[in-house]
């Protein structure tokens, strides 16, 4: 105790007031819910490598993958409290913070490909969405890709009627809720870390995710069928505790921004391959049958999910949806 008092007097005497400066090196805890061997996991590792290099070791980044520190909802609370400094939640997870706008990315078939996505995230709308986080004590730094969602279940999902009455795990997004309701299915919000077990024990019948997430969580081992729908997009917003970020010495913040910019380019360049490789591994495992839809079946699913747009208009706003569609053209 006397040591602690002496130490804090020394800190005061040196005029080091900011919490970031009182600590040497500065620690950034980066918590996330997926495996290391995924687009986000690799992006986080790249950021760690570059951040530590550019700051000459003044910053140490501790990456905690696989929900080892916090689950979906808890990690956002922890960020606001300052228990962790950095996260990269998916666009579908900002609702509990009272921000529904990122859910526009969840709208079924709103993005034909990643090139189109880039137009939105790198355009004025992307920047404006990040600004919404300020009021929550959060600074948005970047958008990272994962990829497109596929549907899995123990039943063949071919026509819209096949979804009827099945329980699907969803992320905490009202748009995703509306999407499954449009299919007469029963959506259930659940943390990512609980999905494998919920599928295994039959708490839910199915789920939607990217090939990379399905493979690294071994979901294909407990789902007989995966339908290649590419119906939705999963991507991330890399966020940092605003107070922590603002109080960093300017030179360190610049070095970290540079590291983030490069880690973003790196992560986004390999996301497609991560998902392609995961699909190949799932096929090789023979554990899950991959179903491809005919153009007619694809069209029927698109049509069946369309009511999600009307529902979302009341939540994220028609104006925002229109703006998104315009920028995505
Ligand atoms: C999910 O919860 O399904 C995903 O958002 C997990 C992730 O971070 O990719």
Q: Are strands 167-170 and 186-189 parallel, antiparallel or unpaired?
A: parallel
pLDDT in tens, the chain (329 residues): 455 555 554 444 444 444 545 568 999 999 999 999 999 999 999 999 999 999 999 999 999 999 999 999 999 999 999 999 999 999 999 999 999 999 999 999 999 998 899 999 999 999 999 999 999 999 999 999 999 999 999 999 999 999 999 999 999 999 999 999 999 999 999 999 999 999 999 999 999 999 999 999 999 999 999 999 999 999 999 999 999 999 999 999 999 999 999 999 999 999 999 999 999 999 999 999 999 999 999 999 999 999 999 999 988 899 999 999 999 98
Is residue 192 lining ligand 1, measured as CB closer than 6 Å? yes
Please work out whether the CB of residue 213 comes within 6 Å of at least one atom of ligand 1. yes
* pLDDT tens column, 148-174: 999 999 999 999 999 999 999 999 999
Contact of 96 with 172, CB cutoff 8 Å: yes
275: Cβ below 6 Å to ligand 1?
Answer: no
Helix (H) or strand (E) holding 75: helix 72-81
Please, are residues 40 and 267 in contact by the beta-carbon 8 Å criterion? yes
Q: What gap in Å lies between CA 171 and CA 146, rounded to an integer? A: 15
| Cβ neighbours of 223 (radius 10 Å) | 24
Q: Which residues contact 203 (CB under 8 A, 6 or more apart)?
A: 167, 197
Give the distance (Å) from ligand 1 centre to CA of residue 34: 7
Residue owning the nearest CA to atom 3 of ligand 1:
192
Residue 262 alpha carbon to ligand 1 centre in Å = 23
Whether the Cβ atoms of residue 253 and residue 245 lie closer than 8 Å to each other: yes
The DSSP output letter for 173 is -
pTM here is 0.92
Q: Which residue has the tokens 């009021």?
A: 135
Residue 161's contacts (CB-CB under 8 Å, 6 or more residues apart) are: none
Ligand 1 centroid–CA 105 distance in Å is 14
Cα(86) to centroid(ligand 1), Å: 16
Distance (angstroms) between ligand 1 centre and the Cα of 146 equals 9
CB atoms within 10 A of CB 26: 22
Torsion of CA 291, 166, 183, 118, to 10 degrees: -60
Ligand 1 neighbour 171 (Cβ under 6 A): yes
3-state SS record for 161-183 = HHHCCCEEEECCCHHHHHHHHHC
Label residue 177 exposed, middle or buried (CB < 10 Å: 0-12, 13-18, 19+).
buried
ipTM score above 0.90: yes
Please give the distance of CA 120 from its chain centroid, rounded to a whole number.
Answer: 16
Mutate to test the pocket of ligand 1, among 35, 172, 188, 192 (most ligand atoms within 8 A of CB): 192
Separation of 192 CA from ligand 1 center, angstroms? 6
């Amino acid at each position: 105790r006397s040591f602690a008092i002496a130490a804090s007097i020394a800190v005061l005497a040196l005029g080091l007031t900011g919490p970031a400066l009182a600590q040497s090196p500065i620690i950034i805890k980066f918590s996330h819910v997926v495996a290391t061997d995924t687009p986000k996991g690799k992006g986080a590792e790249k950021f760690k490598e570059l951040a530590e290099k550019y700051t000459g070791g003044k910053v140490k980044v501790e990456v905690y993958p696989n929900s080892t520190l916090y689950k979906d909802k808890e990690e956002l609370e922890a960020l606001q409290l300052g228990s962790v400094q950095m996260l990269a939640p998916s666009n579908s997870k900002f609702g509990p913070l009272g921000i529904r706008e990122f859910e526009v990315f969840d709208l079924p078939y709103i993005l034909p490909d990643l090139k189109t996505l880039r137009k939105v995230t790198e355009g004025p709308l992307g920047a404006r969405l990040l600004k919404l986080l300020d009021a929550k004590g959060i600074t948005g730094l970047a958008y990272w890709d994962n990829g497109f969602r596929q549907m899995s279940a123990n039943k063949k999902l071919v026509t819209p009627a096949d979804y009827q009455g099945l329980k699907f795990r969803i992320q905490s997004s009202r748009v995703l809720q509306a999407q499954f309701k449009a299919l007469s299915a029963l959506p259930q919000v659940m943390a990512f870390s609980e999905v494998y077990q919920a599928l295994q024990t039959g708490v839910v019948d199915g789920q939607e995710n990217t090939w990379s997430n399905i493979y690294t969580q071994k979901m294909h081992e407990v789902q007989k069928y995966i339908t290649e729908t590419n119906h939705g997009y999963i991507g991330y917003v890399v966020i940092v505790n605003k107070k922590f970020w603002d109080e960093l010495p300017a030179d360190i913040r610049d070095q970290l921004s540079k590291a983030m910019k490069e880690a973003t380019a790196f992560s986004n360049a390999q996301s497609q391959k991560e998902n392609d490789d995961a699909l190949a591994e799932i096929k090789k495992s023979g554990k899950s049958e991959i179903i491809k839809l005919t153009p007619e079946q694809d069209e029927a699913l698109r049509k069946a999910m369309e009511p999600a747009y009307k529902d979302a208009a009341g939540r994220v706003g028609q104006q925002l949806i229109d703006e998104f569609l315009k920028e995505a053209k």
